[in-house]
Amino acid sequence: MKTVIVAAAVILDQEKVLIAQRREGDVQGLLWEFPGGKVKEGEDPRQALHRELKEELDIEAKVGTVFEVNYYEYPQYPVLLLVYRCHLERGVPKPMGCRDVRWMSVAEMKNLAMPPADLPVLEKLGVFRRS
């Protein structure tokens, strides 16, 4: 089975992190995740993330360095998750391609249902915020 490459963003604003809730009918519907999406064939992951943030949340962000990389085998297909540090440049996040979007503290996020591939990112973020 072919591995799906997904690019996601860690966007911080003061003590809050931007997260999005998947739509009810989607795979893993209603789970909360770091915003982003699938990288298309031949697409640079950073460009894909820039595109996905515009399509899903109507924002423009500067995509920075890699924050975390995680490989996870879901029953449907394996995923290689590339998570980048990003900086919000323009727009106010709104749910265009997702059910909801919120700014939350890491402590608040620990109580949310999230996809398994995102959990190591949350753990690293918790360590990152304490240092």
User: What domains sit in the chain, N to C, each tagged with a CATH number?
Assistant: 4-130 (3.90.79.10)
| pLDDT attached to residue 27 | 84
Indicate the residue type of 8. A
Walk along the chain (131 residues) in steps of 10 and give the mean pLDDT of each run.
Answer: 96 93 91 96 97 97 97 95 97 96 91 92 70 32
Q: Which is nearest to 82 in space by CA: 27, 34, 26?
A: 34
d(CA 37, CA 26): 13
| pLDDT attached to residue 46 | 97
Q: Which is nearest to 82 in space by CA: 1, 3, 15?
A: 3
The answer to whether the pTM exceeds 0.75 is yes
d(CA 51, CA 54): 5
Q: Six-digit token pair at 61?
A: 């962000």
> What is the number of H-type helices and E-type strands within the chain?
3, 7
| pLDDT attached to residue 131 | 32
Residue 18 burial (CB count, 10 A) = 22
